[in-house]
């Protein structure tokens, strides 16, 4: 049975150092606390030695999500779990595939997607790097009829969850799922999205830029990194159209400059 670590910290506490721990899986906001999930291994256990660690299993994970995963409104879309599928637009079965809409970085990226589709008609192809649960590619398919999205992740658990969510939302004709590394993809996409922690964004920066023909959405960046983020990503060929933030997180909507 799969198991993970879970800790809870007061809602107003900084989680900067915690999310940088190798093995961090994701976090969710509850009424008075932030709950963080990690891989279960000795390295993580040592890094979390100052905290009260709970070990959760597959069954516990599902019951924890059922406890508080209520319909969530993001822009014009409502994200719901399967047991409330009749109450929303996007159905996400909560699992280790990061992205239910409850995390700030997902909300920031999804907000940009909806704004962009409302004003830009010439977006026909999309590349979602680090798709997690598949929520952003699924949302794009719901918002834009006829779009062709490629959703990529290297985590087998995320791929399994994304595949389930793609079927739950009946968008298999629009969203192609892949476990291939980003560097193996060729061609250009009208819109590239990457909602991943900044260390991975930096690692993928050259490929993300190479794949982008026009629009680029980046999320998963801490506010404290903002002064150096654009320079470290090497985004000189892109114009910053909008920057948004929620709590300690930033998201960026960029457009490739005309040559």
Q: Is residue 203 part of a domain?
A: yes
Q: Are residues 160 and 230 in the same domain?
A: yes
pLDDT at 1 over 80: no
Q: Is residue 86 part of a domain?
A: no
Query: From CA 5, how far away is CA 70, in angstroms rounded?
Result: 23
Average pLDDT value for the chain: 87
- Output the pLDDT for position 97: 46
pLDDT tens readout for residues 33-88: 788 888 889 999 999 998 989 887 755 555 555 555 667 778 888 888 887 788 88
* More confident of the two residues 102 and 222: 222
For residue 168, give its domain range: 104-256
Phi, psi of 204 (to 5 degrees): -95, 0
State which of 43, 68, 93 marks the end of a domain: 68
pLDDT at 100 over 80: no
pLDDT at 124 over 70: yes
Q: Is residue 169 part of a domain?
A: yes
Instruction: Look up tokens 């290297």; give the residue.
Output: 154
Residue 101 in 3-state DSSP?
Answer: coil
- Output the pLDDT for position 95: 64
Q: Are residues 12 and 128 in the same domain?
A: no
Q: Are residues 32 and 128 in the same domain?
A: no
Q: Is residue 246 part of a domain?
A: yes
Q: What is the CATH number of the domain that holds 26?
A: 3.30.70
Give the residues across from 73 on adjacent strands.
78
Q: Are residues 21 and 138 in the same domain?
A: no
Q: Give the total number of structural domains in the chain.
A: 2
- Output the pLDDT for position 45: 93
- Output the pLDDT for position 61: 54
- Output the pLDDT for position 74: 82
State which of 21, 42, 68 marks the end of a domain: 68
Instruction: Detail the DSSP E strand segments found in 44-112.
Output: 54-57, 72-74, 77-80, 90-91
Query: From CA 45, how far away is CA 131, in angstroms rounded?
Result: 27
Q: Are residues 153 and 56 in the same domain?
A: no
Q: Is residue 89 part of a domain?
A: no
Q: Is residue 237 part of a domain?
A: yes
pTM: predicted TM-score of the whole model, two decimal places: 0.77
pLDDT tens readout for residues 165-204: 999 999 999 999 999 999 999 999 999 999 998 889 999 9
Q: Are residues 122 and 249 in the same domain?
A: yes
Q: Are residues 53 and 118 in the same domain?
A: no
Residue 14 in 3-state DSSP?
Answer: coil
Q: Is residue 95 part of a domain?
A: no
Q: What is the CATH number of the domain that holds 249?
A: 3.40.50.150
Identify whether the C-beta of residue 135 lies closer than 8 Å to the C-beta of residue 100.
yes
- Output the pLDDT for position 70: 65
Identify whether the C-beta of residue 129 lies closer than 8 Å to the C-beta of residue 193.
yes
């Amino acid at each position: 049975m799969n198991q993970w670590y879970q800790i809870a910290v007061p809602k107003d506490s900084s989680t900067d150092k915690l999310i940088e721990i190798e093995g961090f899986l994701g976090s969710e906001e509850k009424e008075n606390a932030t709950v963080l999930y990690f891989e279960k291994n000795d390295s993580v256990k040592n890094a979390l030695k100052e905290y009260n660690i709970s070990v959760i299993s597959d069954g516990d994970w599902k019951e924890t999500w059922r406890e508080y995963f209520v319909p969530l409104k993001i822009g014009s879309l409502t994200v719901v779990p399967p047991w409330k599928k009749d109450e929303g637009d996007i159905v996400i079965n909560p699992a280790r595939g990061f992205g239910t809409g409850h995390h700030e970085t997902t909300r920031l990226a999804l907000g940009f997607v909806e704004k962009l589709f409302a004003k830009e008609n010439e977006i026909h192809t999309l590349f979602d790097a680090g798709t997690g649960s598949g929520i952003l590619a699924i949302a794009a398919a719901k918002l834009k009829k006829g779009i062709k999205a490629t959703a990529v992740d290297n985590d087998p658990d995320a791929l399994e969850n994304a595949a389930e969510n793609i079927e739950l939302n009946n968008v298999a004709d629009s969203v192609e799922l892949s476990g291939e590394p980003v560097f193996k993809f060729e061609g250009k996409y009208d819109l590239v999205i990457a909602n991943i922690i900044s260390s991975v964004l930096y690692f993928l920066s050259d490929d993300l830029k190479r794949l982008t023909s026009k629009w680029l959405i980046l999320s998963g960046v801490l506010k404290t990194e903002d002064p150096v983020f654009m320079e470290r990503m090497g985004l000189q060929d892109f114009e910053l159209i909008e920057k948004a933030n929620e709590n300690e997180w930033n998201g960026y909507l960029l457009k490739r400059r005309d040559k």
